[in-house]
C-alpha cells in the first residue's frame, strides 16, 4: 500500500478542482508560488526548489486564491489587494489544518507546539498563524466532538467524560 504525503493528496485535490499544478525551478529557494486563471485554465506554479512542507503550504495558499480571489493582486501596496491576500491565506488555513487535526495530534501524544507542527506537516510559523486566526474566530476555544480545544489562556484539550459541558449554551 502506498501512503501519500499531505502535499501529494493536495495535488490530487487540486486536479479534482481542475487546477493544473506546475513545479518549476524559479531560480530561488524562496517560498513562493503563483495562481493564474483565465477563461480556459487555472494554473498554480510552485517553486520546485522548496521543501515538501513549503510546497504544501504554498499550494494550499494558491488554492485559497483559486477559491476566493480573482484578478491581478500582486501589488500589495493596494489595501484591497492585501485584503484579498488575507482572505486567500485564511482559506488556506482551512485546507492545511482543521481543529479535529489538532485534537487528533494531541490524542496521539503530541505535547509541544513544535511536535504539533511536525505532526501536521507544516511550519511552526504557519501553525502559530492558524492558532491566532482560530483565537480571533472562536475566542477561548472550540468544541471538537467530545473534546474542548482550549485556545486561551493556554493551549490544550479537555475531554468531556459524559455531560461535563452543557452544549446547549454554545
pLDDT of residue 22: 97
pLDDT of residue 169: 43
In tens digits, what is the pLDDT along the chain, a chain of 170 residues?
889 999 999 999 999 999 999 999 999 999 999 999 888 899 999 999 999 999 999 999 999 988 887 666 666 667 777 787 788 889 999 999 999 999 899 889 898 999 999 999 999 999 999 999 999 999 999 988 888 888 888 877 777 655 555 544 44
- Measure the CA dihedral 28/31/35/36, to 10°: -10
pTM to 2 decimal places: 0.84
pLDDT of residue 154: 80
Q: Long-range pairs for 139-145 at CB < 8 Å and ≥24 separation?
A: 142/99, 143/167, 143/170, 144/99, 144/100, 144/102, 144/103, 145/100, 145/103
How many CA atoms are closer than 13 Å to the CA of 123, on its beta-carbon side? 13
pLDDT of residue 43: 94
Return the domain boundaries, the chain.
1-96, 99-170
Architecture of the 1-96 domain: Orthogonal Bundle (1.10)
Amino acid at each position: 500500500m502506498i501512503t501519500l504525503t499531505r502535499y501529494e493528496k493536495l495535488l490530487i485535490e487540486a486536479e479534482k478542482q481542475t487546477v493544473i499544478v506546475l513545479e518549476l525551478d524559479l531560480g530561488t529557494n524562496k517560498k513562493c508560488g503563483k495562481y493564474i486563471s483565465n477563461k480556459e485554465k487555472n494554473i498554480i506554479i510552485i517553486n520546485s526548489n522548496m521543501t515538501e512542507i513549503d510546497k504544501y503550504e504554498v499550494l494550499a495558499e494558491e488554492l485559497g486564491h483559486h477559491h476566493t480571489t480573482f484578478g491581478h493582486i500582486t501589488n500589495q501596496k493596494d489595501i484591497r489587494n492585501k485584503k484579498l491576500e488575507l482572505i486567500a491565506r485564511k482559506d488556506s488555513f482551512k485546507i492545511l489544518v482543521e481543529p479535529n487535526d489538532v485534537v487528533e495530534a494531541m490524542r496521539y501524544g503530541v505535547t509541544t507546539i513544535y511536535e504539533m507542527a511536525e505532526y501536521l506537516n507544516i511550519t511552526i510559523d504557519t501553525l502559530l498563524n492558524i492558532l491566532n486566526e482560530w483565537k480571533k474566530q472562536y475566542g477561548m476555544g472550540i468544541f471538537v466532538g467530545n473534546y474542548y480545544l482550549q485556545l486561551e489562556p493556554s493551549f490544550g484539550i479537555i475531554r468531556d467524560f459524559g455531560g461535563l459541558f452543557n452544549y446547549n449554551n454554545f
